Structure 1
Amino acid sequence: MYFTYIIRCKDDSLYTGYTTDIVRRMKEHESGINCKYSRVKGFKRLETYFIADSKSNAMKLEYYIKRLNRNKKLWIIKNPKEFLETLENKECYNIPYNE
């Protein structure tokens, strides 16, 4: 199981990543280890995450989200189910919402 996630940093910036262990990864962001961005910006909270069936799909989703502007990322955070519905037409994404 793989996770693609968006966190909010203390400076209100957003960071997107992927991992195999969401709990461990959030602890790393909190501690400022294994991520220069959250070490510098400070970890505030996990905003949302998505579960992927493969590393490839998790990485594709991470890449897709990272290319979006801030407003679109904020929309994803507020509307994760609707976001996934927009991906349904894209065969490369087979990602259920984390309910």
Structure 2
Amino acid sequence: MKKYYVYILKCSDSLLYVGLTNNMQRRFEEHENGINKNCFTFKRRSIELIFNQVFNHVEQAIFFEKKIKKWSSRKKLALANGDFDMLKILSECRNATHSKYNLK
């Protein structure tokens, strides 16, 4: 069965890159070696793989990748660090009714 990976890279400038691949090792090496000069990570090397999750179905992987690409950096870092309490807090609505969280 084919496997698909959704991954998060931390770039040298601390920006985060989210991607999807069917070969994690090959794709990481492509980022690391700067194979594509138009890639987001090209000018931001060195990179660090901080998260990856395996999926058996490409549709699930695509859904998850699109979902976390929209997240804030703080949320992505909470996921990568396995900090699910913070992930929950960052996922809550932060209007006046949730002002108990001082996240600045």
Q: Distance in 2 between matches of 1:43 and 1:25?
A: 14
Deviation of residue 71 (structure 1)? 0.8
In 1, Cα distance between equivalents of 2:45 and 2:68: 20
Does 2:65 match 1:68? no
**Correspondence for 1:40:** 43
Cα distance change of structure 1 residues 60 and 41 upon mapping to structure 2, 3 Å threshold = same
For 2:65, the aligned partner's letter is E
Give TM-score scaled by structure 2 length. 0.73
Of all paired residues, the percent bearing the same amino acid is 30
Measured in 1, the distance between the counterparts of 2:46 and 2:31 equals: 6
Deviation at 1:42, TM superposition (A): 1.5
1:56 Cα deviation after fit: 1.0
**Which residue number corresponds to residue 89 of structure 1?**
none
Q: Which has the larger radius of gyration?
A: 2
Runs of 4+ in 1 over 4 A off after TM superposition: none
5+ residue gaps, structure 1: 87-99
User: Please, what is the CA RMSD of the aligned residues?
Assistant: 1.9
- Cα deviation for residue 3 of structure 1 reads 0.4
Looking at structure 1, the residues matched to 24 and 81 of structure 2 have their Cα atoms a distance apart, in angstroms, of 20
